[in-house]
């Protein structure tokens, strides 16, 4: 299995609080992705990174920011969490664009 972990695995927080999710990889892959998964929807891309300090928006980026200061870590921040951001968040990595993505175990976030 690809070395990819997410923390925390579960989090409950209140509306208006900041939340940061961490994705950590040991594979030295260049690309990292954050997705959210909600019932009735496929996985939706929030942000992705194609290198250290190189990030771009996905289809559902509003309300989220990301940072990648090291190859191995990709952080997703909700500056002021809302109930609509209750979801399961998956991180994924790939060696380059257009190849297999390996997924982390997911983080279940509940915003009350």
Partner 1 sequence: KNEVEQSPQNLTAQEGEFITINCSYSVGISALHWLQQHPGGGIVSLFMLSSGKKKHGRLIATINIQEKHSSLHITASHPRDSAVYICAVEGDSNYQLIWGAGTKLIIKP
Binding residues (CB under 8 A) for partner 1: these are: 40-45, 48, 58, 88, 90, 92, 97-103, 105-106
Least separation in angstroms between CB 7 and partner 1: 15
Name 82's Cβ contacts closer than 8 Å, sequence gap at least 6. 15, 63, 111
Closer residue to partner 1 (CB): 81 or 92? 92
Least separation in angstroms between CB 100 and partner 1: 5
Closer residue to partner 1 (CB): 42 or 62? 42
DSSP-H helix ranges across 1-112: none
**Rounded Cα distance, 106 and 97, in Å:** 21
Closer residue to partner 1 (CB): 79 or 101? 101
Selection from 20, 35, 49 nearest residue 87 by Cα: 35
């Amino acid at each position: 299995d690809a070395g990819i972990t997410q923390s925390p695995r579960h989090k409950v927080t209140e509306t208006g609080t900041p939340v940061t999710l961490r994705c950590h990889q040991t594979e030295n892959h260049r690309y990292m992705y954050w997705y959210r998964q909600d019932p009735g929807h496929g996985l939706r891309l929030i942000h992705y990174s194609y290198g250290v300090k190189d990030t771009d928006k996905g289809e559902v980026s509003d309300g989220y920011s990301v940072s990648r200061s090291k190859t191995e870590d990709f952080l997703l921040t909700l500056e002021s969490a809302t109930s609509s951001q209750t979801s399961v968040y998956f991180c994924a990595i790939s060696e380059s664009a257009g190849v297999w993505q390996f997924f982390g175990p997911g983080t279940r976030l509940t915003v009350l």
